[in-house]
Amino acid sequence: MAQHRKQRPDRWSAPRRARRAPVPAALRAAATLTLAGAASAAVLDGAALAEPEATLAEVEERVDALHREAEVATEAYHAATEAAGRAEEEVDRLRDRAARRTEELNAARRALGSQASAEYRAGGLPAGLALALSADPDDFLSRAGVVDRSGARQARAALDIEARLRGVEQLRAEAAERSEALADARERAREQREVVTDRLARAEDLLATRTARERAEVLREEGTGKTAGGGRAAPAAAPAVAANQRAGAAVAFAWGQLGRPYGWGATGPDAYDCSGLTQAAWRAAGVSLPRTSYSQAAAGARVPRSALAPGDLVFYYADFSHVGIYVGDGLIVHASRPGTPVRVAPVDSMPFTAAVRPG
């Protein structure tokens, strides 16, 4: 990602319109201009209205800003998508639990109903008449005790059904709440996707106004020459040796992706965005990282700039919106932005914020 520059007024934020003063009636009446004079006036007027062509430096600054905005929105999109995925899983889990509890509730209701019906049929005679008709009064009294106890069981069963019903209702309410969170997360993702699409399209429109050589100059990357101090990065033939096997595997994977194109939202194997590359690199080492650069910044132990080791994740900008993987010798490998492939860049080529050691 190109380094941060001092912003100039955004000349592309809104079209400029020249203001014409109202034409006095006296001048309107003096319509004696010759055809040649009118044509000359039109030429001069057109020159006054023409927008001066932007310099290459201005185009570069604006393209850099648009790509930065797109990257910030990209990571926000990933975060919203992750939130939507978690909410969707939670909704499915709650709905499954509610369905199981509902089936248990219905089974309990059916059992209670069957028991009540059977006891009603068995105990349909009044107690006095049943006692009078009973051949064995002692047997009647013992059965009457069973009926009483059965009534107590029915009462307990009814209370159990009521509790089950409240549980089902609670699960359904939680599922509805998570469904709202899911809808909100999906809306946030849609909005961020629109921001990304808009910023990248505007950057492409600006680049389309320049020659191929000028476009390459605008999109030149830190690893090909620019550094924060204006120096040039020394080319590296291979990454430095990592301190442990997992870090070495992550670095080797990232190094193997050099030259792959940047892809918005891509996690490989054909293209990557910044956090997609670091996630894939550490996945190759057997370590699972979150999807976004924000989350990856909390996925390990913080290390100071002076203690960087190959495999460490290096985060840039105050919002942690860009990440690369340190490969030693003061260099990182990163997927920077559209139009530039995965490449090597100096670790200080962007505003350093933090570093994390995964695993």
DSSP E strands: which ranges in the chain? 301-302, 313-316, 322-328, 331-334, 343-346, 352-357
Tell me which of 4, 67, 78, 334 is the catalytic residue: 334
Written as six digits, the tokens of 101 are: 């509890």
Q: By C-alpha distance, which of 331, 333, 312 is closest to 247? A: 312
Q: Return the residue matching tokens 């946030």.
A: 188
Written as six digits, the tokens of 285 are: 């080492």
Radius of gyration for the chain, computed over Cα atoms and rounded to the nearest angstrom: 37
Alpha-carbon torsion, ordered 148, 150, 152, 158, to 10 deg: -140
Q: Return the residue matching tokens 């033939």.
A: 237
Residue 206: half-sphere exposure toward Cβ, Cα within 13 Å: 28
C-alpha separations of 190 from 76, 101, 208 in Å:
10, 35, 27
Cα–Cα distance between 44 and 99 in angstroms, integer?
78
Catalytic residue list contains 334:
yes
Q: Return the residue matching tokens 């709202």.
A: 180
C-alpha separations of 24 from 18, 115, 118 in Å:
18, 101, 105
Sign of dihedral through CA atoms 233, 238, 240, 244?
Answer: positive
Neighbour tally for 312: CB within 10 Å? 26
Cα–Cα distance between 272 and 338 in angstroms, integer?
10
Helix (H, G, I), strand (E, B) or coil at 136: coil
Tell me which of 4, 67, 78, 322 is the catalytic residue: 322
Tell me which of 4, 67, 78, 274 is the catalytic residue: 274
Helix (H, G, I), strand (E, B) or coil at 314: strand
Catalytic residue list contains 78:
no
Indicate which residues carry an active-site annotation.
274, 322, 334
